[in-house]
A and B are shown apart, each in its own frame.
Chain A
Amino acid sequence: MARVTPRAELSHGAASRAPLRRRLGLLVYRDAARAYGVGVALALLPLVYLFREWPPWAIRDALHGLPAAERAGVLAGAHAVYGLATAPLARQLLASERLRWWWALPLPASWWQTLHLRHLVLLDAPWLLAIGYGMTPIVAREGVLAAVTGGLAFVALALAGQIALVSVADRRAIWPAGGLLVWALAVALAVILPGPLALLLGLLALVPAARRLRHPFPEARAWARGLAGGPPVLALARLGWLAVRRRDGVALAWGVFVQLAMVMLVGLAETHIGPPGLQLPSALEVTVEPEAVRALLRGVAVICALVGTALALRSARLLHGDRPLLDTWGIEPRHERNARLLLATAGVLPALLLGSVLLPWLHPLGREWPLELAIAVAWAAPATVHLAFALEASRTLHDPRLPRHLLWLGAALLLVGVAGTTLALLPWAALAAVRLPAAQQRADAARRRFETAVRDDHRS
């Protein structure tokens, strides 16, 4: 009986697998670019303003000017926030349902390891660049070796942390929380330790994490006890929330991240309020006039409202394929309308909660935040819900709507900027609210006339 030698088998297999590898690699990269692209677009909004007021080098120098313990705390917190914000995307890259089927293909474990490492480096590229940029002053202060080893330590910890978070996705919430805490502590330790020792710490974390990439990652935790039921409006809003939370955690994480970043930006501006020319003891020696901060607060309220209320649009998209079954339950139209409005409003909770606590604490001007945000939400919620119904009616719910949202954002910011008050949005809000029932009727009529396409973009 003819027998193929292992070497020949490997060689033949490697040649025949090359197109498959390319194809699979491209598919995953495309998924990453699609998911990451929106996030980057959203994250750029606060970053552009931040860097205009406080350039990257000013932030970097301010960090290096802090005492080591304080710097360790700030960097540990930054890594933890980054890990939390990117965890859904890392999970999508490393453990998507599609990958689960690909593991049945004849590919060596090392190929998966390489592919996943590439994905993670791609995902983390901006973060890794920021680490590299942050380490540059150490070259002059402590030498190249300390800077390079220290930088590599942070890179290794970032990659290992993300792998660890994905690998415990099937455990109780305490596990990912513990993983995040250990990651933050390791970063704090790496800040304090000399470069080579920090690198050793990073490698101790990265080596077992990289070995984990050779095996499939677990499915998301099957056990769940989400809030469900209650009055019909609340039950439908909760259904929409669960759909987005469990099917598109990436979009949700980015939405929360952008809101929190925007609020913190206002907080940062508040800490620098003062008359022009005043020199502050902080390394960021910039002063901002109260009127400029007030204008920033109004603009940020509009952005947070639009980003937060997009939750209602996202849930309408995700539930669209399930509409036929939902309809058999006999949903009252007003219940559905109010549920969407409730969900849209709830989407702004991160900005409301953080802003209502942080901003008044930093400066009395921050007391204006809840009212400004409420007015902005009173505009964004009916406008977004109206958009969702209008898209259902025109059967274009799944078309990308980022351009229209950006256009809205630009128009709203212009309106608020020219009028000097968010109250200028109220006529727009009233118009959207008045048109809402008619838009819903048109959406219902479209479902009566056309078959609803079941579109499965289940991701988690």
Chain B
Amino acid sequence: MPALLAVDLLVRRGGTVILDGAALELDAGLYALTGPNGAGKSTLLRALAGVLPLARGRVEIDGHDLWRDPVAARRRLGYLPESPELFPYLTARELLRTANAVRGVPATAGEDQFSRWVRPAALDLRIGTLSAGQRRKLALVAATCHDPRVLLLDEPDDALDAAAITDLRALLVTWRDEGRTVLLSTHRTQALELPFDGRLELEGRRVHHA
């Protein structure tokens, strides 16, 4: 049973077809999703995360259908959106605690990681007042603090400082070694210097294994 399965996806945004017949099947490992600007990388990740509705097709996370069995599927999933501009009125701690409560993981999960990446006092600052890089780090922590089986990361190194990128690299390798499935969209596969297990390329509205 693949950790992440997508079959015959048809995805429209604002009436425009972005993906048509896209499919993928990934086991545990670290995968890069590449493609030119506008190819639909973010759209594919959004569709795989259940953020975008599917006009056709199905997605399974660890054997659970994303739309028929959404709670089980999504609790095994961590998703980092491209622009984490959400919940500007919450503090970092409030966001993490709410997400943790809903997911049924310990209340303080992720707080240590965020404190280490930013600073402890930033936990009680409203997200709207954090810098772009700090928001990115928070979104990354929120996406991963429940130890999901499948991780979908959209440009995870975007806006991060050098120290955080080093941490991120180490985390990605750890997750891979732990047997998780990590799919990350990036333009900088070389710069990240990661031991990818596979590369997917989006072209012509479909996914190709490079």
Contacts and interface: CB of A to CB of B under 8 A. Distances in A.
Given A229-B107, A458-B88, A328 B124 contact: no
B125 A451 contact: no
A298 B89 CA distance: 37
Contacts of B99: 329
B40 interface: no
A325 B107 CA distance: 19
Contacts, number: 114
Interface string A258-289: 00000000000000000000000000000000
Contacts of A71: none
Nearest to A336: B102
Given A222-B125, A447-B53, A448-B53, A329 B103 contact: yes
Interface in B112-158: 124-126, 128-129
Nearest to A333: B71
B75 A330 contact: yes
Given A329-B103, A330-B70, 10 more contacts: A220-B126, A222-B128, A228-B95, A229-B94, A229-B101, A235-B101, A328-B77, A329-B75, A330-B103, A458-B128
A186 interface: no
Interface stretch (B26-34, B44-52, B173-181): B44-52
Interface stretch (A242-250, A358-366, A414-422): A242-250
A368 interface: no
A223 to B, nearest CB: 6
A442 to B, nearest CB: 15
A375 B75 CA distance: 38
B165 interface: no
Interface string A422-460: 000000000000000000000000011111000000101
Contact of A448 (B14, B67, B73, B102): B67
B101 A328 contact: no
Contacts of B107: 229-230
Given A322-B87, A328-B50, A330-B102, A228 B94 contact: yes
A335 B102 contact: yes
A324 interface: yes
B74 A231 contact: no
A235 B102 contact: yes
Contact of B51 (A224, A229, A324): A324
Interface in A101-145: none
Interface centre among A224, A247, A328, A460 (most CB of B within 10 A): A328
B86 interface: yes
B87 A223 contact: no
B13 interface: yes
B125 A225 contact: no
Contacts of A220: 126
B13 A327 contact: no
21 contacts: A223-B124, A223-B126, A224-B125, A228-B98, A228-B101, A235-B97, A235-B102, A239-B94, A242-B90, A243-B89, A247-B89, A324-B46, A324-B51, A325-B81, A330-B70, A331-B102, A448-B53, A448-B54, A448-B67, A451-B52, A458-B89
Contacts of A230: 101, 107
For the complex of A and B, 9 pairs with smallest distance between CB atoms: A229-B97, A330-B74, A235-B101, A228-B94, A246-B89, A324-B51, A222-B129, A330-B75, A228-B97
B88 to A, nearest CB: 6
Given A236-B102, A448-B53, A451-B13, A330 B71 contact: yes
| Contact-size category for A | 35 or more
A226 B94 contact: yes
Nearest to B103: A329
A232 interface: yes
A232 B124 CA distance: 21
Interface string A304-342: 000000000000000001101101111110010000000
Contacts of A449: 53
Contacts of B73: 330
A238 interface: yes
A238 B102 CA distance: 12
B93 interface: yes
B82 to A, nearest CB: 12
Contacts of A225: 91, 93, 124
A447 B75 CA distance: 18
A234 B107 CA distance: 13
Given A228-B97, A232-B102, A223 B74 contact: no
A451 B53 contact: yes
A223 B89 contact: no
B104 interface: yes
A228 B95 CA distance: 8
B130 to A, nearest CB: 9
Nearest to A330: B74
A364 B125 CA distance: 48
A451 B50 CA distance: 11
B112 to A, nearest CB: 16
Nearest to A459: B89
